């Protein structure tokens, strides 16, 4: 009999030789179902703590699945979908399991075309039977579907979890990396689910889009307005305030155009998913900011009779850009749903800028009122106030 130490070493060596795919499959292989149903294949999916079991009858083109995942919250939902046209969520044909208001579990089908409120609809495949059960913080979704394209054995699949259901309709899921990367390619015959490589790429593009727009529309444009409004009150700051203001706004515009361009790119890659309000505000921002840049080239001299109308136009468009920019940053944060600390950080930045603006507003009004009061004093004459000359009669 081998000594205990030698036995332990041999066991460690054997464990190290087990392929990674086998060790990863250990979790789903150990799962069981109340009906004692056994599936030919199972995979531990790479995100959201999800698992997929399936049988595929190629002759009849029927696919039986058991999808297992914990919802984001106890009253949430889980979903598994096939996408016959793309690799992401847009265009996916989804089965969603959730608890109904009466407490019973339901499985419904949805054609996912946008992030707008879902509407139950027919999907690409026929559903022969479906059911779901919930226990221990996990939902199990069962379904047998008939695939319309015989001979097609490699499909794109998507899985997802959500935190809530309102009025019998699943609410929008989170947009954390795990949610965005929950997709892959499913080989029905080989029993393999390969993670999609596009998730990280799309997430990176979203993050770049968000950062560029936060810096430009959300921070630099309001800062440029603060510079112009408050520094020009002081004669010693002229013309430095003007060059600071122009440099800040032109830089913000250049960065904002880059962010706008990444947004157009993201939109073109997911045509069936639109964020109408965010998109329309972004287009308006781009138009207004472009008008501001052209306004710089058409700026009349201070004593020109049209200068007052130019000022009204310039100030109105400028403040509109600042307000819409901040609003659209929050719309973007709602869509991207980054870690809450980033939203809090931006709120702090805006609060600091707002505090600075309020302080300078009060201070500059004091300066202006004092200056106005001094300008209305009667002329003191040549003796610098020691002998005051009476004003002439009209």
Q: What is the pLDDT of residues 37-77, one digit of tens each?
A: 889 999 999 899 999 999 999 999 999 999 999 999 999 99
Whole-angstrom distance, CA of residue 49 vs CA of residue 142 = 17
pLDDT of residue 276: 82
Q: How far is residue 243's CA from residue 377's CA, in Å, rounded to a whole number?
A: 34
pLDDT of residue 106: 94
φ/ψ of residue 351, rounded to 5: -65, -40
Structure confidence at residue 88 (pLDDT): 79
DSSP at 120: B
Nearest to 253 by CA among 280, 204, 288: 288
Q: Domain 29-196, what fold?
A: Immunoglobulin-like (2.60.40)
DSSP annotation string for 272-292: T---HHHHHHHHHHHHHHHHH
Q: What element of type H or E holds 42? A: strand 41-44
Q: What mean pLDDT comes out for the span 212-217?
A: 93
User: Could you tell me if 105 and 133 are in contact, meaning their C-beta atoms sit under 8 angstroms apart?
Assistant: yes
Q: What is the pLDDT of residue 380?
A: 52
- The DSSP code for 236 is G
Q: Between residues 233 and 187, which one has the greater pLDDT?
A: 187
Q: Does the pLDDT of residue 29 top 60, yes or no? A: yes
- What lies within 8 Å, CB to CB, of 320 at 6+ separation is 288
pLDDT of residue 329: 94
Query: Could you say which of 1.20.120.1770, 3.80.10.10, 2.130.10.10, 3.40.50.2020 is the CATH number of the domain covering 203-371?
Result: 1.20.120.1770
Please give the share of the chain, as a percent, with pLDDT higher than 70: 84
CA distances (Å), origin 117, targets 53, 173, 337:
29, 11, 17
Other beta carbons less than 10 A from residue 371's beta carbon: 11
Q: Which of 200, 126, 160 is nearest to 52 (CA)?
A: 160
**Domain boundaries for CATH 2.60.40.1210 within the chain:** 29-196
Helix (H) or strand (E) holding 367: helix 340-375
Over 50: is that where the pLDDT of 9 sits? no
Q: Is 45 helix (H, G, I), strand (E, B) or coil?
A: coil
Q: Which residues pair with 166 in a beta bridge?
A: 169
Separation CA 37–CA 32 (nearest Å): 8
Q: Where in the chain is the domain with CATH 1.20.120.1770?
A: 203-371
């Amino acid at each position: 009999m081998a000594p205990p130490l030698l036995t332990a070493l041999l066991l460690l060596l054997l464990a190290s030789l087990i392929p990674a795919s086998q060790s990863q499959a250990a979790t789903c292989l150990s799962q069981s179902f109340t009906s004692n149903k056994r599936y030919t294949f199972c995979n531990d999916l790479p995100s959201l703590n999800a698992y997929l079991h399936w049988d595929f009858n190629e002759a009849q083109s029927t696919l039986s699945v058991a999808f297992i995942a914990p919802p984001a919250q106890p009253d949430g939902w889980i979903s598994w979908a096939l996408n016959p046209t793309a690799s992401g969520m847009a265009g996916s044909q989804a089965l969603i399991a959730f608890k109904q208001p009466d407490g019973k579990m339901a499985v419904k089908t949805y054609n996912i075309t946008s992030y707008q409120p879902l509407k139950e609809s027919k999907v690409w495949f026929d559903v022969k039977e479906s059911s779901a059960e919930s226990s221990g913080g996990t939902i199990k979704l069962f379904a047998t579907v008939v695939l319309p394209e015989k001979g097609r054995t490699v499909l794109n699949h998507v899985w997802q979890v959500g935190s809530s259901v309102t009025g019998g309709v699943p609410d929008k899921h989170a947009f954390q990396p795990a949610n965005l990367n929950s997709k892959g390619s499913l080989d029905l015959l080989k029993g393999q689910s390969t993670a999609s490589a596009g998730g990280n790429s799309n997430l990176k593009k979203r993050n770049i889009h968000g950062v560029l727009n936060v810096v430009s529309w959300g921070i630099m444009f309001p800062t440029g307005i603060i510079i112009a409004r408050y520094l020009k009150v002081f004669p010693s700051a002229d013309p430095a305030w003007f060059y600071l203001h122009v440099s800040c706004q032109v830089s913000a515009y250049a960065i904002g155009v880059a962010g706008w361009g990444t947004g157009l790119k993201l939109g073109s890659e997911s045509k069936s998913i639109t964020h109408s309000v965010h998109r329309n505000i972004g287009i308006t921002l781009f138009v207004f900011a472009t008008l501001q840049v052209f306004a710089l080239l058409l700026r009349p001299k201070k004593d020109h009779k049209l200068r007052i109308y130019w000022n009204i136009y310039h100030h109105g468009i400028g403040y509109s850009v600042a307000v819409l920019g901040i609003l659209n940053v929050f719309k973007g944060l709602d869509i991207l749903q980054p870690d809450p600390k980033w939203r809090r950080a931006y709120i702090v930045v805006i609060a600091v800028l707002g505090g600075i603006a309020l302080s300078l507003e009060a201070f500059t009004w004091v300066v202006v009122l004092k200056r106005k009061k001094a300008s209305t004093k009667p002329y003191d004459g040549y003796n610098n106030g020691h002998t005051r000359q009476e004003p002439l009669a009209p």
